[in-house]
Amino acid sequence: MSQKRFEEIRRYLHFNDNNAALPKEHPDHDRVFKIRPLVDFLNAKFSSIPLERDLSIDEQLWFSYKFELYTGQENQDKYRLIDEPDLMASANAVVRLSRITPENNNYRLYFDNYYTTIPLISYMASKGIQTLGTVRRNRLPNCKFPSDKILNKQPRGTAYEYITVFNDTPITSVVWKDNKIVSLLSSYCGIQPIDTINRFDKKSKRVIKIDCPNIIKEYNRHMGGVDLLDSLIGRYKIKMRSKKWYIRIWYHLIDVAIVNAWILYRRVEMEHGRKATISLFDFRVEVAASLTKVGEVITPKRGRPSSASSSQLLEKEIELKRKKPHHNTMPPKNKSFIHLRFKNALDLMPFNPAEFKIVIEADRKP
C-alpha cells in the first residue's frame, strides 16, 4: 500500500456516526463521542481478563484492566452510581476504575498520594477491598506526627505509626524517614514487622543498614510496576502524526492493546510452565504480519513446513535487499556529458548567462 493510499484511508476513518453527536450545549454531550465505541469495546475486552489480587491505580499500569479518558466530565453526578459517595475528583477516579473489582474477595488496591484520602480508604474497606497508598500530610486532619523539621533531625529509618477509626474502619497511618519523609495510609498493614534495607550514606561514604517498616516494603513491592506499561509502550510506539485528536488516541490505544496482548501471552506461558520466547518487538511484527493476511486465502505448500517466524522472514527479506548491488550513478565512459560552471549559486537567481558557461567534454578516443 502506498503512502497516499494509507493517508486517504486514514482521512475517512471514523469510529462513530458524527450525525448522531449531540451539540456542546446539550447536557448529555460526550466530549469523546468520536471515539467512544472504541473505548467501550477495549474496556470490555480488557476487563474480561481475570483480575490479579494486587492491583495498582495510576496513569497506566502493568496490565491495563480498565482505563479512563480524562475529559473533565467524569466527576459529574450523572456519571456516579446511586450508592457511590462523592469523595472529590481524584478519589472518585479510584471508585470508578474499581467497579470491575469483586467485593469481599480480598483484592488489594495501591495508589499514590494524588488519590489517597481517609474517606477513600474507608469506603473501599466497606466494599471488602483493602487499600494502601502514600498520602499528603495536609490530608491527615489532627495529625499527631512530628513536624518535618523534627523528623529531619532524626536518623534515617525512623518511623512513627498511629491507628485511627473512621466510619468503623481501622486505618493505619505511618510516617518514615529515608532520604525524604514518606507518609502512608492503609487498611490492612502497618509498621510491623520491621526489616532492614541497605542505603548509601553520603557522610560516611559507605552502605549502611536502616530500619524499613513492612508497609513501605508492601507498597514498593506492588507499585514498582506501575509505570512499566508506559515504558513498554514507549519502546515501539506509533509515531505517526495527525491533526485529528481522536486519531492520536487511536494510535495510543493500539499500542496499549498490543502490549496488553503480549503481557497476557507471557502470563499464559508462565502458567503452563513454559518460557515466553517471543519478545515485544517480534510480537508486534507477528501481529502486523497477521493483520496484512486477513482475508487472504492461503494454499498449503508441499514439503516440510518452515519453522521461521514472520519476524525472521522479514529480516531475511531486509538482508536480501542489502545484498543487492547498487546502481552505478557515475556516467559511463565514451559518453559525452555536460559540466555547469558558475561562480556562485546565488548569482543564478535571477538567471544571468554571463556568470557561467557550458562546457561540453568528450571522452571518446579519436
Nearest partner of 185 among 126, 242, 137, 252, judged by Cα: 137
Q: Are 355 and 348 in contact (CB under 8 A)?
A: yes
Backbone angles phi, psi at 197, to 5 degrees: -135, 160
How many residues does this entry show for the chain?
Answer: 366
At residue 122, the pLDDT reads 94
Is pTM beyond 0.75? Reply is no
**104-138: per-residue pLDDT in tens?**
898 999 988 999 999 999 999 999 999 999 999 98
pLDDT tens-digit series, residues 213-253: 999 999 988 875 556 777 888 888 888 888 899 999 999 99
pLDDT tens, position by position, 155-201: 888 999 999 999 999 999 999 998 889 999 999 999 999 999 888 88
Whose grid coordinates read 489532627? 142
140-156 mean pLDDT: 87
CA 166 vs CA 173, 202, 288, 303: distances in Å: 12, 41, 52, 72
pLDDT given for residue 317 in this prediction: 67
